Structure 1
Amino acid sequence: METASSFLASGDNVFKFLLTMCIGTILFNIIYPTDKIREVEIRRSELNYKLNVINNESRTLFDEVKKLKRLEDKLSDLSSSVNAGFLKKLESFDLKYELLTKKDYEIEHLRKLIDISEDELDFYSSFRFWSYYPSMVIGLLSLVFWIKFYVRSQETEDH
């Protein structure tokens, strides 16, 4: 069994170790961030879909609330000549307005979640960049130095 000093004294082992660790790091950097980026993009897509659905519902509700508000304003002047069924329809104004307010809160919440997803995408993309490329450089340098060390050791054995 080799000791640490003999391991470090033999450049062959050091370069093999560095190359092996870099290959492991490169494989990790290919798999992990790519998987996380895919998950976040799927989540962001789902959130955007929900946001679009809620925006459409919100627009419809907003149009209904505007119409009901105009009718309510007109009826305040003609309150004596309005039938009861029509007044019940106007009472739905408050319910629709409340629902519209809830939709606005949902929209705001979904936008925040989408922003968080964007931040996560930026993080994993930069993580992949800042860990993948240095590993590649160190791995390539280790391979070059290992080959040089091996060639020198073969030349010294031949002489």
Structure 2
Amino acid sequence: MATVESIVHSALHQSPIGSTDWDPLRIEDLLQECALLDVRHFTSSSIIGILLDLRTALQLDIGNTALVVIGGVSGYSWVSDTVEADTMMRTVVGSYPTMSATEYKLELACSPRSAFQVKGKWASFFEGTVRSIGESQPDLTSVDPTTLASGFPNWQSELAIAYGTTARV
């Protein structure tokens, strides 16, 4: 099994894995109620990785974790109106994929009031299971950072991929 970060750098982006009618890279709002955990920019390879917790997702229920990878990144932005606490969940309330002849764009509108947008040449989406986390998200008010961190998927988590989709301009 591969770690989340190793999937970002792998050749798995070349073709779909498994099959599904649900493609968050093409269908609006399929990422609703996912928790946006982390975004990483791998500058040397012009790749953005977006790590999502699916345990609260409305429509994606095959696994508990998703990874979105955007390659050939030409730009990205994070806008947030508020920071309410040191540790807080960003819940996706809308996902807006757009593909033109020259670029792929994904916008994630989050609650509380924030948004992430990325543009690139291709995108991959992987849904799967991280077995080392529980069935529900940990309490963010936990005073123990180790317990809190171990309850969410991270870049070193082993991800058993159930399916993957790709989009290329």
TM score, norm. by length of structure 1 = 0.18
Higher Cα Rg: structure 1 or 2? Answer: 1
TM score, norm. by length of structure 2 = 0.18
More helix by percentage: 1
Identify which of structures 1 and 2 has the higher relative contact order when contacts are C-alpha pairs closer than 8 Å and 6+ apart: 1
